[in-house]
């Protein structure tokens, strides 16, 4: 969203729906109508599920910070893990060291993913795989996943990995190699519960904590100007 723009109350309550969800929503509504004809309590249940379907595929605008040196959350969800690790071998980065921040998305989170930085996509690799619980560590290596390698203006490499989960059965990527992106721009989505990993250069320090709620396109994961140790937090 551009500076100075505002989100209307209508769009806040009824945000746009992602094109991926239109077909699902129509199916849910049709089934709800049939169930209502057969037995109204079942129709009410179908209506509740239709509302959930709309909520799941919502695609609201976000206010993305635009300062240089920021890395923004690519997904809604909860920070599940923060660890130092080697880069993905699928992108030939196993010799480099990164800070990996893993964000788990439940079926109640918005599943539209966004680029964490402005830059150019220089590699895109799709890997078929299993559909294990996305909260497991081995999901990063065993599950179906989509890798994006983004090169920023200062030549830093940022990696975004969309990982399918136990319920998720489709990763949709809406970007391609050579495409120039602005921070917070939509890059795709994953259906029905999943996870997104973002790999930061090890010169960046995470400004988020385990268990923290993230908002795609808005929450700042890291700021190049901050050199403090990883942030800590507790529930209060």
Place of tokens 């976000």: 62
Decide if 214 contacts 73 (C-beta within 8 A).
yes
Decide if 56 contacts 23 (C-beta within 8 A).
no
Decide if 138 contacts 132 (C-beta within 8 A).
yes
What does the alpha-carbon distance between residue 184 and residue 66 come to, in Å, rounded to a whole number? Answer: 9
Q: How many other C-beta atoms can be found within 10 angstroms of the C-beta atom of residue 53? A: 19
Question: DSSP label at 217?
Answer: T
Question: DSSP label at 212?
Answer: -
* Phi and psi torsions of 52, nearest 5°: -65, -40
Tokens of 145: 């996943």
Decide if 200 contacts 71 (C-beta within 8 A).
yes
Catalytic residue among 86, 194, 209, 222: 194
What does the alpha-carbon distance between residue 176 and residue 179 come to, in Å, rounded to a whole number? Answer: 6
194 catalytic residue (yes or no): yes
Classify 69 in phi/psi space as left (phi over 0), alpha (psi -120 to 50) or beta.
left
Decide if 55 contacts 110 (C-beta within 8 A).
no
Catalytic positions are 194
């Amino acid at each position: 969203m551009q500076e100075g723009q505002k989100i209307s109350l209508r769009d806040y309550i009824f945000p746009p729906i992602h094109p991926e969800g239109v077909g699902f929503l129509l199916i849910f509504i049709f089934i709800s109508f049939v169930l209502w004809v057969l037995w109204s309590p079942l129709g009410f249940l179908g209506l509740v599920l239709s509302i959930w379907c709309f909520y799941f595929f919502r695609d609201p605008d976000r206010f993305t910070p635009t300062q240089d040196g920021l890395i923004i959350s690519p997904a809604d969800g909860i920070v599940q893990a923060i660890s130092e690790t080697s880069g993905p071998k699928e992108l030939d980065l196993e010799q480099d060291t990164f800070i990996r921040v893993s964000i788990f998305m439940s079926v109640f989170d918005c599943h539209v993913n966004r680029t964490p930085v402005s830059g150019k996509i220089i590699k895109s690799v799709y890997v078929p795989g299993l559909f294990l619980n996305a909260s497991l560590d081995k999901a990063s290596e065993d599950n179906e996943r989509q890798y994006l390698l983004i090169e920023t203006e200062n030549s830093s490499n940022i990696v975004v990995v969309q990982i399918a989960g136990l319920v998720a059965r489709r990763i949709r990527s809406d970007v391609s190699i050579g495409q120039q992106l602005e921070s917070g721009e939509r890059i795709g989505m994953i259906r029905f519960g999943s996870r997104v990993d973002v790999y930061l250069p090890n010169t960046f320090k995470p400004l988020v904590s385990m268990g923290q709620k993230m908002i795609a396109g808005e929450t700042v994961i890291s700021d190049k100007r901050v050199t403090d140790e990883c942030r800590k937090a507790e529930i209060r």
